[in-house]
Chains A and B, each alone.
Chain A
Amino acid sequence: ETGVTQSPTHLIKTRGQQVTLRCSSQSGHNTVSWYQQALGQGPQFIFQYYREEENGRGNFPPRFSGLQFPNYSSELNVNALELDDSALYLCASSWGGGSNEKLFFGSGTQLSVL
């Protein structure tokens, strides 16, 4: 196991609601990245947090937002949920600093929007 933990593991919401997903990074890692993985697809980069600041964002609307805390854990918030937001949301941690460091993924949160 990677040491990256995500909660909850499964979540069911209805369209228009808001959701918060949580991630604890692996010990010693200061960077957290969030990915969305639709069924049968590869993960898509949402955004990354490094030292509590957003450090890059993929092609996702502003209703996807995040936070990183001083202990490097992170939250992903999604407002005004849409049916297409149903997916596996993956958190990955790494040690930042400008080099290509390996990403260590958690097992994800499976979000279903009805």
Chain B
Amino acid sequence: GESVGLHLPTLSVQEGDNSIINCAYSNSASDYFIWYKQESGKGPQFIIDIRSNMDKRQGQRVTVLLNKTVKHLSLQIAATQPGDSAVYFCAENPPNFGNEKLTFGTGTRLTIIP
């Protein structure tokens, strides 16, 4: 079946270094992708999104890359800070779901080492 998955369940990064979180998706018809950050005891928080007609989008300290050829999504966080420690989810909007209904991956736990 269609699914959104992540290559690594956990990632530890030294404070100040850059981090890269990867995600594989299998629904080639998905046209919208989002990264969410979830801190302990909170709901997912929107980080950045990208549509399928783009291959890169930058935000504040974050960059999302989309490779439709291999159905791969990545989130790059520059100069990581302790507050970046959280679980990161990628999510896709499959066409059969309609708008605003998302399929989430399992998540990657990012730990920033001081």
Q: Please report A residues at the B interface, Cβ cutoff 8 Å.
A: 2, 4, 31, 33, 35, 40-45, 48, 55-56, 58, 90, 92, 94, 96, 98-108
Could you give 23 example pairs across A and B, Cβ below 8 Å? A35-B104, A41-B107, A42-B4, A43-B44, A43-B89, A43-B102, A43-B104, A45-B103, A48-B101, A55-B98, A56-B97, A96-B100, A98-B99, A100-B49, A100-B93, A102-B46, A102-B49, A104-B46, A105-B36, A105-B43, A106-B43, A107-B41, A108-B43
- Given contact pairs A42-B105, A100-B32, A100-B51, A2 touches B43 in the complex (Cβ within 8 A): yes
A31 CB to closest chain B CB (Å) equals 6
Q: State the main secondary structure of chain A at its contact with B.
A: loop
- Chain A residues with CB under 8 Å of B105's CB are 42
CA distance A107 to B42 in the complex (A): 4
Residue B106 is within 8 A (CB to CB) of chain A in the complex: yes
